[in-house]
Amino acid sequence: MTEKSLNTFKGTLVQERQLKEVIAKHHDQPGGLMPILQEAQGIYGYLPIEVQTMIAEGLNISLSEVYGVATFYSQFSLTPKGEHRISVCLGTACYVKGSDKILEAVENKLGIKSGECTPDGMFSIDSCRCVGACGLAPVMMIDDDVYGKLTPDQVGKIIDSYVNKKGGKKE
């Protein structure tokens, strides 16, 4: 049940108190695990093993049961998401036009793989199946911004623009 993570868990006492309140609210409710997981993800932004453990202990159920539900439903994330969420479309139209190379360029630029978050929490990468912009293939989204007809050599400059907006440093 271990997942490779570049990020260490940074939960606060306030978040832990909120989670305990959520567990207490749904403790005796049939099927209460699902709303607890949803609210826990709202509190923490994702469901790290530490949060899953607190939920399991609070409900007096096994960690494997919590983990099983958290990994079954795609709405839950076990890894943190970045301040800027990058999504590269791997749907048919985009893939045929080279979106796999776009994804590779993003991964190389940030030094992480799809499904991961940079250690500074600034970027996370995911792939998706279709963003509905097939005429612009290949497509990448950063937050709500859509970039189409991309080539791998454009990726670095686009990502740098988000780093520079924040006043961050280029690595």
- Please report which confidence band the pLDDT of residue 45 belongs to, taking 50, 70 and 90 as the band edges: confident
pLDDT on residue 7:
60
pTM for this entry: 0.70
Give the whole-angstrom CA distance, residue 98 versus residue 151.
8
Give the whole-angstrom CA distance, residue 152 versus residue 117.
20
pLDDT digits (tens, 9 = 90+) for 79-109: 888 999 999 999 999 999 999 999 999 999 9
- Please report which confidence band the pLDDT of residue 122 belongs to, taking 50, 70 and 90 as the band edges: very high
Burial profile 64-101: b = 16 or more Cβ within 10 angstroms, e = fewer: eebbebbeeeeebbbbbebebebbbbbbebbbebbbbb
pLDDT on residue 108:
97
Mean pLDDT of 35-50: 95
- Please report which confidence band the pLDDT of residue 2 belongs to, taking 50, 70 and 90 as the band edges: very low
Domain 84-163 has CATH 3.40.50.10300: no
Question: Given the DSSP bridges, would you call strands 145-147 and 140-142 parallel, antiparallel or unpaired?
Answer: antiparallel
Give the whole-angstrom CA distance, residue 169 versus residue 38.
34
| pLDDT greater at residue 164 or residue 85 | 85
Contact 123, 159 (CB under 8 A): yes
pLDDT on residue 150:
97
pLDDT surpasses 50 at 15: yes
Counting every residue written for the chain, the total comes to 171
Burial class (CB in 10 A: 0-12, 13-18, 19+), 24: exposed
pLDDT on residue 74:
79
Residues 147, 149, 155: CA angle, nearest 5 degrees: 55
Which DSSP letter does residue 142 get?
E
Report the DSSP beta bridge partners of residue 22: none
Q: Where are the domains of the chain?
A: 10-72, 84-163
